[in-house]
Amino acid sequence: MTYRKGILALLAIILVSCSKKNEELAEKRPTLYFKSIPAELSGLNFTNTLSPKNDLNIIEYLYYYNGGGVALGDINNDGLDDIYLTANQSPDKLFLNLGNLRFKDITATAGIAIDSTWSSGATMEDVNNDGLLDIYVSKVGNYKGLKAHNLLYLNKGNETFEEVSEQVGLDFSGFSTQAAFMDYDNDGDMDMYLMNCSIHTPRSYGKAHKRKEKDSLAGDRFYENKLNEGVLSFENVTHTSGIYSSALGYGLALVAADINQDGLLDIYVGNDFHENDYLYINQGDKTFKEMGAAWLNHTTRFTMGADIGDMNNDGLQDIFTLDMMPFDHEVFMKSGGEDSDKVSQIKSDFGFGKQYARNNFQLNTGEASFSDIAPMTNTHATDWSWSVLIEDYDNDGLNDLYITNGIYKRPNDLDYINYLSNTDFSNYSQSQAYEIEKKLIQQMPTLKLSNILFKNKGNLDFERLTTDAGLVPSFSNGAAYSDLDLDGDLDLVVNNINENVFLLENETQGHNFMVVDLADSLQSTTGAKVRVHSGTKVLAKELTVTRGFQSASSRKLHFGLGAMTKIDSVQIIWPDGSVQTEKDLLANSFKTITKKTGLPQYTYTPAIKPKSYTKFEYTHIENKYFDYERESLIPEKLSVEGPASIRADFNGDGLQDIFIGGAKYQAASLFLQDENGGYQLKKTPQFAKDKIFEDVDAEVFDLENDGDLDLYVISGGNDLMEGNQNLEDRVYLNDGHGNFERLNAILPRINGGSISAGDFNADGYTDLFLGGRSIPGAYGLPPTSMILKNTSEGNFEAVMNGRYGMVTDSQWSDLNDDGLLDLVIIGDWMPITVMINKGNDRFEDQTLAYGLENTNGMWNTISIEDLDNNGHKDIIVGNAGLNLKWKASQEKPVKLYLDDYDENGQLDPLIFYDFFGHYVPFASKDNLMAQLPYLKKRFLSYTDFSKIKGIEDLTGVPEKDIALQLQIHELRSMVYFNNGTSFIGTPLPKEAQMSTIEDMLVNTDGTDKQLYFVGNYLDYVNELGVSDANPGGVLYNFNGTNFQSYRPLGLPKETSARKLIKISDGKLLVVTNNSDALVIDGL
């Protein structure tokens, strides 16, 4: 009885809170709001209804729930965009826009086929240059009883069409997803890229070279329009065009854009599964060159939709591609995540590029490469997503993202997969098997999600909007935008599975806009570019219509102007390269701009790879060791530190020389500077003898006070246990001429992290700090670090030692201006630790006193300078950055729990992090269960596992009883300003947060302070992903509180930089891990 009462009370609460929510909504509706117009009002009656059959369902056909598309375009030139909708198992429909968001079904009278063949994508283009938009529909044919070929509906005027695909050679029958029209040879007519998809074979992946083998049903195709030779016909030029046309390509996303700004449209093809996405750069000679690897460090894995547009108003084309990473923590824990590190390695060996099963936000760097900043912008997880449309939906002058998502039946639910595993089809006859399939499909989980809007707030900040913006849960696929009611904002049409199509009226108000419709009496304007100038702002758009997923959007170019009322000029670059400028245009107007004659040619400056570096004669060659095969729960490799690099005058000739350590099995190198500023490798037999050591850091000082510089090199590596002789640090004594011999001494044998030299007691002898990186085999457990006092010639005495953390860097500096050198230590899972020198060899940990107690990060590098000229030294620290799946804050730190939960003598590091508001374990269920088999009994299903909220749920051990807990509060790279008594943190600008920062140089000479930084880190485990969005840059224009300007250093995009050393005036050396050292300009 009380039970029932409880439920009633609960219901009441829910009801109350619902109505309250509605009130609130009415009160403060956000600036971005879409109102759904019901079909009864709009006349837009259309549902993509799916009826699974025995031989055609999600088990038999993997793309059964890919849904339909939307093509918008003005087919009768009345100024209103009309709507073509595709369906999979029912007829497509064409709707005429009558104005005021009312539509009329003209499918039958227009001559559109009324049948139930499987349509996927649709697009509109004027293929015969008669000024009327034609319609191309992609079909699935030749598969599982589906019979159809693609259709070309030629617009005959008067709202009628004639299907001519066979006559003109576009009646392809296979597995088509979508087509994009573009004039690839600039001959005045529209050619066509046809994207097809593959179907699965028992082999989940073969070698990548199979992409060179043509497949007649699944391979993509390219057709050249021969209209300029007098008659409309398309020639299949796939073989000569340079595109791939194989069964490896599961093409689902297709967008054309001028990626390299050379006046020729390029093509982005997003492939599902293991095949890379293709970035075809148009070579201008009727061929394309696939250059994905040159432009992109990685791509989405299950690429489904894509769009290209300018997300930060820098005039460059950015790419957004969609994948299927869930954002609901329980769904996330029940779904398959990233490939294991092993499978990722195998795919790489097979020739496939790096791919992640989350959205990619590829920001164009302007240097012929992209930086994926999806995790930093929190746009990386939108669940099973189909269509993304980049447009300015609130007219504030910044492009937003509209994303459709949802799969009607969810086949990647791991419980479901396990359930399926217990069914053996071989036992059953065909008809029984169909029955079982039916049941299996019924068992397949269903999850209805709201589509998602990301409102662009500037400075690469995005706000996720769903129901607040009027969006409701649905299974949505194709979508397209257009200002359907001509009220100055973009409306949306969204094709749904088993639900009427959405007509979403944009109710944004208060911002200004400008709409440009391009006209050319001779040919289609696809490929034209428009730039709207207003004050210092430039808004750039390109006219291509195939976007998102299986869909095509309006040909009118829409510009949100925000508060701007004045347009200085509009520049149009026509497809033939001629440029036209229009002035005196009014805000809030619709303007048709017709191409003039006698226009000048536009001069393009194509993006090229910077050649701002030269190779230095040193290549770091990392040994192959996979830490996570021994420690399967760790987030990062600890065996790839270094190389140690240091600059000093070793031979006493007054010129600065360079020492660079080696990886394991690689000898260290000593480069002596010659009089011409060049560097000569000096062969050092002792270094060759010691090549078994991995040199991770080094320091120079005069050990014996004999007037020359000796070397202390610390050893690292995670493959050997502490105490192994191959982990021993080494001291090399200099004979004064740069000849080194190893000192016979007993030194620490640990995985070292950092060494810093400083005479802390001012006795004329250099003292040392030695920081430990890790205890091999016990990730997270802090190793011993120590301060060593140089007592006299060569004798060291440990005056302090402790377990401060997993140290990566350290620096001596007088922080409190008392004339004594203090020490700052940083590392992983530890705060910026301040050891204040109290004199008499005494140090006091004053991290708390200086307000740094909650600064635990994944710190990599430290620099101490007085940036703000207040007379106190500030701390500049490089961190892992914001572009990670992990999120960290004071309130929701990343947590590491260390204990031997199964009492087998091996520590088990368990990490939890904040996943969209909920703590989740970092390791997958499968990975956890392999190391801790007893958990298999606690969590028989993934559903059980997905309910885990913390360490106690997972292990049964209360948080307070865990042996050791570590946290990360801060992932940003920071400046901590010293006000004399404490440190106040300020994050570095966004550009410095896109990747890890591994080393820095601060230039305090001159009037402007500059911060040079290098980074990227490629050795996180695959679940966390590589940090590869920024190899290095310069922050400058310091205004006393932060840097106002940024420019990239021009390093290769895949650089994994570790050290930045000034080698001469105007030259910097970038030492990388497992790659060439590079010389760049700077300082």
Partner 1 sequence: MKKTISLIFAIALLTSCGRNKMEEPLAIGPDEFHASIKKVTEIMIHDIFSPPVASRVFAYPNIAAYEIVAVNNDDYLSLSGQVHGLSPIPQPDSTKAINYQAAALVAHLELSKKLIFSENKLESFRDSLYQKWSTSNPETFEASKEYGLKVAKHIGDWMNKDNYNQTRTMPKFTVDTYEPGRWQPTPPAYMDGIEPHWDKIRPFVIDSANQFRPQPHPTFSLEKDSPFYKELKEVYDISNEITQKGDTSEEVKIAQFWDCNPYVSVTRGHLMFATKKISPGAHWIGIAQVASRKANLDFDTTVYALTKTSMAIADAFISCWAEKYRSNLIRPETLINQHIDEDWLPVLQTPPFPEYTSGHSVVSGAAAIALTDIFGDNFAFDDDVEVPYGLPIRSFNSFNEAAQEAALSRIYGGIHYRSAIEVGIKQGRDLGTYHLNKLKMTKAKELASN
Q: Which residues bind partner 1 (CB under 8 A)?
A: 58-59, 61-63, 200, 202-207, 302, 340, 342-343, 346, 411-412, 417-418, 420-422, 424-427, 624-626, 629-630, 632, 902-906, 908, 930-933, 936-937, 940
Cβ nearer to partner 1, comparing 555 with 925: 925
Cβ nearer to partner 1, comparing 427 with 536: 427
Spatial CA neighbour of 886 closest among 850, 862, 906, 858:
858
Give least dist CB 215 to partner 1, A: 14
Give least dist CB 631 to partner 1, A: 8
848: which DSSP letter?
A: T
* CA–CA gap between residue 640 and residue 661 (Å, rounded): 13
Cβ nearer to partner 1, comparing 414 with 836: 414
Cβ nearer to partner 1, comparing 343 with 599: 343
Cβ nearer to partner 1, comparing 945 with 976: 945
Cβ nearer to partner 1, comparing 1 with 26: 1
Q: And the tokens for 745? A: 């001494």
Give least dist CB 931 to partner 1, A: 6
* CA–CA gap between residue 882 and residue 992 (Å, rounded): 9
DSSP characters for 1025-1065?
--B-S-SEEEEEEE-SSSEEEEEE----TT--EEEEEEEET
* CA–CA gap between residue 807 and residue 826 (Å, rounded): 6
Sheet holding 751-758, edge to edge: 751-758, 767-774, 785-792, 795-802
Cβ nearer to partner 1, comparing 39 with 441: 441
Cβ nearer to partner 1, comparing 554 with 751: 751
Q: And the tokens for 821? A: 């050198």
Cβ nearer to partner 1, comparing 57 with 1030: 57
Give least dist CB 906 to partner 1, A: 4
Give least dist CB 1019 to partner 1, A: 14
Burial of residue 487 (number of CB atoms within 10 Å: 0-12, 13-18, 19+)? middle
* CA–CA gap between residue 678 and residue 638 (Å, rounded): 34
- Give strand pairing partners of 788: 768, 798
* CA–CA gap between residue 355 and residue 701 (Å, rounded): 46
- DSSP H or E stretch at residue 462: strand 462-465
3-state secondary structure of 67: coil
Cβ nearer to partner 1, comparing 341 with 483: 341
- DSSP H or E stretch at residue 909: strand 908-915
Cβ nearer to partner 1, comparing 30 with 445: 445
Give least dist CB 981 to partner 1, A: 47
Cβ nearer to partner 1, comparing 631 with 991: 631
Question: Residue 652: which residues within 8 A CB-CB, separation 6 or more?
Answer: 707, 708, 736, 737
Give least dist CB 202 to partner 1, A: 6
Spatial CA neighbour of 181 closest among 232, 142, 147, 144:
232
Rg (CA), the chain: 32
Contact predicate 476/496, CB 8 Å? yes
Give least dist CB 225 to partner 1, A: 35
* Residue 685 φ/ψ region, left for φ over 0, alpha for ψ in the -120 to 50 degree band, beta for the rest: alpha
Cβ nearer to partner 1, comparing 519 with 940: 940
Give least dist CB 211 to partner 1, A: 14
CA separation (Å) from 650 to 508, 635, 676, 826? 68, 39, 17, 29
Contact predicate 692/665, CB 8 Å? yes
- DSSP H or E stretch at residue 831: none
Give least dist CB 427 to partner 1, A: 4
Cβ nearer to partner 1, comparing 418 with 588: 418
* CA–CA gap between residue 548 and residue 955 (Å, rounded): 43
* CA–CA gap between residue 748 and residue 733 (Å, rounded): 17
Find the Cα–Cα–Cα–Cα dihedral 187, 268, 477, 562, rounded to 10°.
Answer: -80
Give strand ranges (E) for 605-736.
613-619, 645-648, 657-660, 669-673, 679-682, 694-701, 710-716, 730-734
Q: And the tokens for 152? A: 């070309």
Cβ nearer to partner 1, comparing 342 with 947: 342
Give least dist CB 137 to partner 1, A: 24
Give least dist CB 324 to partner 1, A: 8
Question: Residue 854: which residues within 8 A CB-CB, separation 6 or more?
Answer: 831, 890, 969, 970
Give strand ranges (E) for 762-820.
767-774, 785-792, 795-802, 806-813
Give least dist CB 144 to partner 1, A: 13
Give least dist CB 239 to partner 1, A: 22
In whole angstroms, what separates CA 171 from the centre of its chain? 38
Give least dist CB 323 to partner 1, A: 12
Give least dist CB 297 to partner 1, A: 23
Cβ nearer to partner 1, comparing 58 with 806: 58
Q: And the tokens for 981? A: 């008594």
Give least dist CB 200 to partner 1, A: 6
Sheet holding 306-309, edge to edge: 306-309, 318-321, 360-364, 370-372
Q: List the end-to-end C-alpha distance of the chain, in Å, as a whole number.
A: 79
Give least dist CB 959 to partner 1, A: 22
* CA–CA gap between residue 607 and residue 757 (Å, rounded): 45
Cβ nearer to partner 1, comparing 844 with 926: 926
Spatial CA neighbour of 971 closest among 908, 892, 1055:
892
Residue type, 386: W
Q: How many CA atoms lie within 13 A of 237 on its CB side?
A: 19
Cβ nearer to partner 1, comparing 611 with 937: 937
